[in-house]
């Protein structure tokens, strides 16, 4: 089911209008879940870090033993061609995808070179600056590399994220703050997470249980360039209860303020979350500076 509208699909060398069927029932990806994807964004006529997202899907494919078939620069060109079919003011979610077509003699290990590729473009609005969410704890945790392919942006990881999100929503919250196997905070069910304390910013140190995102890295670079201290640290749930601000970082909405974590409330808007607001401003300023 599509999330957005005005969908365009690239498949087998051609752009098509609409949500095209691309996978067959016997494809390895259909019955064994060997799929990877990445997500980039078009907004305000900008597609920031598009090359980085296209490069990452090739790394994700290799981690899942899928042979990548499109070079990064070629993928960027394909995406830009597809984006040309949208109005200049459109906000578009950009999703390149690979899946394995066939397996070895037992069907389990993906066959080298047997790869499907598509790009899906969907119009999805950007969230307004004031849009905020809430967090709660979840009993589900992030896996480790020995349990799952956590070094890839793989579709097979998302049922676990869905369990986290569904549990949070059943409790009346918008998202879940998730622990790793040791009980330290890793990320949320859908995005990386930052907290602010006494004007300094903290985020969980990458420990191999979650993807340290491209947008996360961009925020950290922007903040450090402006002189804001950013720490990658081992953080517990109590650190987030004691925080002055919390915000999420993800490709879909870039910056999402948090107004509550369980029974702890945070002021959003006005002068309540100045660092979060500045992070958003810095990201949009940086994106505008990249316009070709």
The pLDDT, as a whole number, for residue 138 is 98
**Single pTM value for the model:** 0.95
The pLDDT, as a whole number, for residue 129 is 85
The pLDDT, as a whole number, for residue 130 is 84
The pLDDT, as a whole number, for residue 290 is 81
Using DSSP, state whether 94 is helix, strand or coil: strand
Q: Tokens for 257, please give them.
A: 């303020």
The pLDDT, as a whole number, for residue 262 is 98
Neighbours of 221 (CB within 10 A): 13
Domains within the chain, CATH numbers bracketed: 5-123 (3.30.470.10), 133-289 (3.20.10.10)
The pLDDT, as a whole number, for residue 3 is 83
Stretches in the chain below the pLDDT threshold 70: 1, 292
Residue with tokens 């929503």: 169
Using DSSP, state whether 62 is helix, strand or coil: helix
Q: Residues 81-105, buried b or exposed e (16+ Cβ, 10 A)?
A: ebbeeeeeebbbbbbbbbbbbebee
* Longest alpha-carbon distance in the chain: 62
The pLDDT, as a whole number, for residue 292 is 52
Using DSSP, state whether 129 is helix, strand or coil: coil
Which residues sit opposite 246 in a β-bridge? 195
- What's the pLDDT tens digit per position in 106-127? 999 999 999 999 999 999 999 9
The pLDDT, as a whole number, for residue 291 is 72
Say if residues 277 and 129 touch (Cβ distance below 8 Å): yes
Please give the Cα distance from 178 to 213 (Å, whole number).
16
The pLDDT, as a whole number, for residue 29 is 98
Alpha carbon separation from 130 to 47, 126, 204, 255, 260 (Å, rounded): 22, 11, 25, 10, 14
Interstrand relation of 133-141 and 175-179 (parallel, antiparallel or unpaired): parallel
List of E strands, 4-82 = 5-11, 14-17, 35-37, 40-42
The pLDDT, as a whole number, for residue 8 is 98
């Amino acid at each position: 089911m599509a999330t957005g509208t005005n969908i365009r699909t690239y498949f087998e060398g051609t752009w098509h209008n609409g949500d095209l069927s691309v996978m067959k029932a016997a494809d390895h990806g259909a019955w064994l879940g060997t799929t990877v994807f990445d997500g980039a964004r078009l907004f305000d006529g900008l597609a920031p870090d598009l090359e980085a997202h296209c490069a990452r899907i090739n790394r994700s494919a290799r981690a899942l033993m899928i042979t990548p078939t499109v070079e990064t620069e070629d993928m960027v060109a394909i995406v830009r061609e597809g984006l040309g079919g949208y109005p200049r003011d459109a906000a578009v979610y950009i999703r390149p995808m690979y899946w394995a077509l066939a397996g070895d003699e037992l069907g389990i290990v993906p066959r080298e070179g047997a790869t499907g590729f598509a790009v899906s473009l969907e119009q999805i609005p950007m969230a307004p600056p004031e849009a905020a969410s809430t967090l709660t704890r979840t009993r589900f945790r992030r896996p480790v590399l020995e349990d799952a392919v956590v070094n890839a942006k793989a579709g097979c990881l998302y049922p676990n994220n869905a369990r986290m999100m569904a549990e949070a929503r059943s409790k009346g919250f918008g998202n879940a703050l998730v622990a790793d196997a040791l009980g330290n905070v890793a990320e949320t069910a859908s995005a990386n997470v930052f907290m602010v304390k006494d004007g300094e910013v903290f985020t969980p140190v990458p420990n191999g249980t979650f993807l340290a995102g491209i947008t996360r890295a961009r925020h950290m670079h922007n903040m450090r360039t402006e002189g804001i201290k950013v720490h990658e640290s081992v953080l517990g749930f109590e650190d987030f209860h004691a925080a002055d601000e919390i915000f999420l970082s993800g490709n879909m909405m870039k910056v999402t303020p948090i107004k509550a974590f369980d029974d702890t409330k945070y002021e959003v808007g006005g002068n309540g979350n100045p660092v979060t607001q500045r992070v958003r401003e810095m990201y949009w300023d940086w994106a505008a500076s990249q316009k070709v």
